[in-house]
Amino acid sequence: MDDKSAGLASGLAPRLALLRALAEEQHITRVAERLRVPQPTVSRWLARLGEELGTPVVVRAGRGIRLSRAGLALAESAGHALAALEAGCRRALADTDGEQGLVALAFLHTLGGRPVPELLRGYRARRPSVRFSLAQAPHDTILDRLREGVVDLGLTSPTPTGDPGLTSAVLFHQPLVVAVPERHPLAKRRRVRIGELAGEDFVGLEVGFGLRAITDELCAAAGFRPRLAFEGQETDTVLGLVAAELGIALVPQADSGPPAGVVEVPLSPAARRTVGLVWATGRPLSPAVREFRDFALGRGTR
């Protein structure tokens, strides 16, 4: 679009309804009454449009007016544009409706198996018309999307601290275990200390994932830095690498047990990760988002 066309289009935006009404009424007085705009204002808008186009948009027809060929072209486009705008307004109003709004929720990949589906099932039993836009992402990406306003709420771990732009609340805790191949010497242990893992090859998630940060912190507290043989973006992949005897991993305890070829060994002392709900501080939440947040927080910790 050239500069002249762009400028004309931006100026037309407030006058789209005028053009559509003119195409239907073809009478300035009736158009002014329909739009609740003074008749002189309607006349000025029409004259200004003609000046900007370099050709009149209306011509006299007896005691009334009719659109010129240029005016008809604009009116047709105005009708399409208004229809699209009105549809967008309907969607926007629906999104802010507590009964049938939209909730944009981002969460960690590791929460997609049971925690998130159970949470959504419980809420949808109360509000079946509310829609959800779901996105799985690493911890750092979730926080970025919250700051940017791309999503309304985030389920992540660890909960952010020291960021005035984000507010969080604890939802639940997940025990952490050492995932080892079933033929690994540690597979027969009832418990294992983090310090005993110093000489092992680890497989884990990339930097930027919450579980990777927790792994690094636990190992640092035990006096060593984990030796990462493989790094990935999916916990299922990490566990597959463990089953293939390519390393060990610190992971949340599986709700339905570990996959074939993997043994979970509890830590001593016990370790866990805290999963929290996060939202942007000070940003207004729609009724549906606010209600879902309160519902999730009301479920308490586990």
Contacts of 266 (CB under 8 A, 6+ apart): 175, 177, 178, 190, 191, 192
The pLDDT assigned to 73 comes to 81
Average pLDDT, the chain: 84
Q: Which has the closest alpha carbon to 203: 245, 174, 175?
A: 245
The pLDDT assigned to 250 comes to 95
The pLDDT assigned to 83 comes to 64
pLDDT higher than threshold 90 for residue 201: yes
Calpha distance 169→279 (Å, rounded): 9
Contacts of 155 (CB under 8 A, 6+ apart): 105, 106, 107, 108, 111, 115, 116, 142, 171, 275, 276, 277, 278
For 148, the 3-state DSSP assignment is: helix
pLDDT higher than threshold 90 for residue 14: no
pLDDT higher than threshold 70 for residue 95: no
CA atoms in the 13 A half-sphere facing the CB of 3 = 0
Average pLDDT of the segment spanning 38-67: 80
Q: Which has the closest alpha carbon to 231: 252, 249, 244?
A: 249
Q: Strand 262-266 vs strand 272-280: parallel, antiparallel, or unpaired?
A: unpaired
The pLDDT assigned to 55 comes to 85
Average pLDDT of the segment spanning 281-289: 90
Average pLDDT of the segment spanning 165-188: 94
Task: Confirm if 31 and 21 have CB atoms less than 8 A apart.
Answer: yes
The pLDDT assigned to 5 comes to 45
